[in-house]
Structure 1
Amino acid sequence: MVDHKKIIKTGLVGYGYVGQTFHAPLIASIKGLELAAVVSGHPEKVKKDWPDVTVYTKAEDLFHNSDIDLIVLATPNDTHMPLAKEALSLGKHVVVDKPFTLTLAEARILAKIASQKERLLSVFQNRRWDSDFLGIKQAIEAQRVGQISQFESHFDRYRPAVRERWREEAIPGGGLWYDLAPHMVDQALQLFGLPDSVQASFATQRQGAKITDWVHVILAYGEKRIILQGSMLAAGGTARFTLHGDKGSLIKRLPDQQEAQLRAGMKPGAAGWGEDPDDIHFWDGEGNTTHWPVPAGDQRGYYQAIYEALTGSAPNPVTPAEAIAVMAVIEAAIHSDALGQRVKLDLTEDERKAFSH
């Protein structure tokens, strides 16, 4: 039975950049979700933003709060597995920030526990609700470039100075491939399904860098090539998406603006939220160019879907099967870089059938 009036009390673990910038405001923007508690080592920081929220310093205390229905993990990557496992074991529904886990084996363990406990387990793939991705998805569905030969997805930054933060340390789950790549991989799988093989090249390019800060990964689908590129030394001149086919080519130059809006303090759903003035540009091969707007992005869609899944009116927006597939690509790329050759996905037939796009 669908209960549209149910309030889902939500506990957020972690109030660093991701927890503060994305999760807290997005959760609070959804009718039916209540940001009831936050786990943070800096209670004063949380209370400044959310004075009515209960603050814990230990995740264990939050997990044992019987009033909390949903746990959201916005913590360092190497904590995702143990924290999610504990929360699921105590009967909580769980949302994990990307990457889901550090390894494919860990992903399988969490999926099994969630199934046994009959709890929702989902991964925060908020970039499915970005304007750039929605625009490129529409173009592909409309077959704007015809038969696709090449697709490029860039997640580039210009941060030449190495910062003192866990994402840039030589630790499990550190580096660019675990940071931005899960978004690119998830989007590619949503658009094209599971690849035949993965070929990767990683590098550590910045002076003083301790771990991967440049990635180039090719997903093969027959003769079609999907290229995932990320750099911390790209000051400009690259497009977020590039698409080539037998009817022409198109680019989406600039990324979705929601992260910048959230950093600036805009509340999700405010006037102008998710609007993207950067059009998609198309070349038909005969010298003719056209352009068209992209839909507004709205990452609230993820948490709205989570609420609907928990109240019985919609499916889980990002299933464990989809999360396992992403981890299979992430792991295959790591093996490919180490071996210097193409690698196939280490997925069972049941896992391939469970993945849908």
Structure 2
Amino acid sequence: MQLIKAGLCAFGMSGKIFHAPFLKEHPGFFMAAVVERSKEESKEKYPEATIYRSVEEMLQNADIELVIINTPVQTHYEYAKMALEAGKNIIVEKPFTVSVSEAEDLVNLAEEKGLFLSVYQNRRFDRDFLQVHKILNDGKLGNIKEAEIRFDRFRTTPSGKQHKEDPQQTGSGSLHDLGAHLVDQAVQYFGYPEKLFADVFSMKGQEYANDYFEILLYYKDNLRVRLKSSVFTKEAHYAYAIHGEKGSFLQERTDNQENELVAGAIPVYGKEWTEPLKGTDGILNFINENSEPERMLTASEPGNYMDYYQQIYEYIVFGYALPSQGREVVQNMKIIDASLESSKEGKIVYL
């Protein structure tokens, strides 16, 4: 099996949870390098990875062909550009960058260099996202007329992470953080909207970056898609509500991969590794082919973040499709930028 040597730009939560375990357990990857500016925490689980004290040092010295940019979003552009100019393929954590212009610049540079750029949209591999995709593809709901996708939390006190909560820092706030997932999911399900209207602000006060947003996406054929997130939601809503001409589907957000990884779970290559779902997590209510009503409880199949790295591997080795390529995600960022404009101006923004 061809071995892809990779380097991590940071070993914080993202590196420890979403990247290093999968690079280690996938037989096609070798985590050869990691940046830790002062600590050496990676040594315990990844002794084979050389520790560098800066991204610059790693790019200059490490024998790697793939770089994962998993630093705060405000640094993505700088490090991604640096890696591309060093001749490295790159994976960039979401949100891609803090602006559309930065993202477009990186995509163009990657194409000029003949390198690939993928954005780590791991929520495409959540069990709940995949279940909704399956229901939509089954066609039981008929033409879709309305959909709502939510990602709520109950985090009423500041986290202390300035790059996420300082309103003076471009790219901070829930819209770039969780919104990057919801926008991506809406586009994956329904394509690119014609226009939008948004309300974006901070429930905790003006001294903090936005922690609430509601975006209404307008599509052709009278389809409306609402994206919503709040940090003052103690009781969970259904994360997905899909309504069509023939019925409705409600889906809970039940993917637990992140929590299991935080608790120490080890992902397994080539098989399911998450805890089985206990019970059901969805409701499908529709009119069947015999014009009779049917209502059933549904259970989603397991998701697997390993599939993202498997697709990266298959792209490199076999030339298969590249997951969440940069130019595709630039379109998502245009929706985020338009949402900020809409909220500020109090108007519909055409895309």
TM-score (norm 1): 0.91
Following superposition, the deviation at residue 52 of structure 1 comes to 2.5
Name the structure 2 match of 1:76.
Answer: 72
Contact 1:155 1:229 in 2 (8 A): yes
Specify the alignment match of 1:183 in structure 2. Answer: 181
Looking at structure 2, the residues matched to 78 and 89 of structure 1 have their Cα atoms a distance apart, in angstroms, of: 19
In 2, the alpha carbon distance for the partners of 1:80 and 1:62 equals 16
Which of residues 23, 30, 34 is equivalent to 1:34? Answer: 30
Indicate the larger mover: 207-216 or 77-86. 207-216
Amino acid at match of 2:225: I
Among candidates 263, 276, 282, match of residue 280 of structure 1: 282
* Deviation at residue 284 of structure 1 after TM alignment: 3.1
Q: Please state whether the residue corresponding to 1:156 is helix, strand or coil.
A: coil
Instruction: Give the superposition deviation at 1:253.
Output: 1.6
Q: After superposition, where does 1:1-357 map in structure 2 within 5 Å? A: 5-65=1-61, 67-165=63-161, 166-170=163-167, 171-206=169-204, 210-222=208-220, 223-269=222-268, 272-273=273-274, 275-277=276-278, 278-284=280-286, 288-345=294-351
Whether contact under 8 Å (1:132, 1:252) holds in the other structure is yes
- Where do 4+ consecutive residues of structure 1 move more than 6 Å? none
Letter in 1 for 2:310: Q
Cα deviation, 1:77-130, whole Å, max 9, x if unaligned, reads 010011101100110000000011111111110011000000011100111111
Q: Deviations over 1:169-206 (max 9, x none)?
A: 22111110111111111111111111001211012112
CA contact (8 A) 1:69 1:92 kept: yes
Kindly tell me: are residues 275 and 119 of structure 1, through their superposed partners in 2, closer, same or farther at Cα, counting changes over 3 Å?
Answer: farther
Give the deviation of 1:33 after TM superposition. 0.6
Cα deviation code 1:287-344 (max 9, x no counterpart): 7521222121011111111111112331211112211111111111111111111112
Gaps of 5+ in 1: 346-357
* Structure-2 change in CA distance of 1:138 and 1:51 (3 Å): same
The size of the alignment, in residue pairs, is 341
Once the 2 structures are TM-superposed, how far is the Cα of residue 167 of structure 1 from its aligned partner? 1.3
Matches of 2:312 and 2:10, distance apart in 1: 19
Q: In structure 1, how many angstroms separate the alpha carbons of the residues matched to 2:217 and 2:275? A: 29
1:34–1:241 distance in 2 versus 1, CA, 3 Å: same
Unpaired stretches in structure 2, ≥5 consecutive residues: none
State the percentage of identical aligned residues. 33
* Alpha-carbon displacement from aligned partner over 1:9-63 (angstroms, at most 9, x marks no partner): 1000011111211111122221111111111224322223322221111000111
Q: TM-score, normalised by structure 2?
A: 0.93
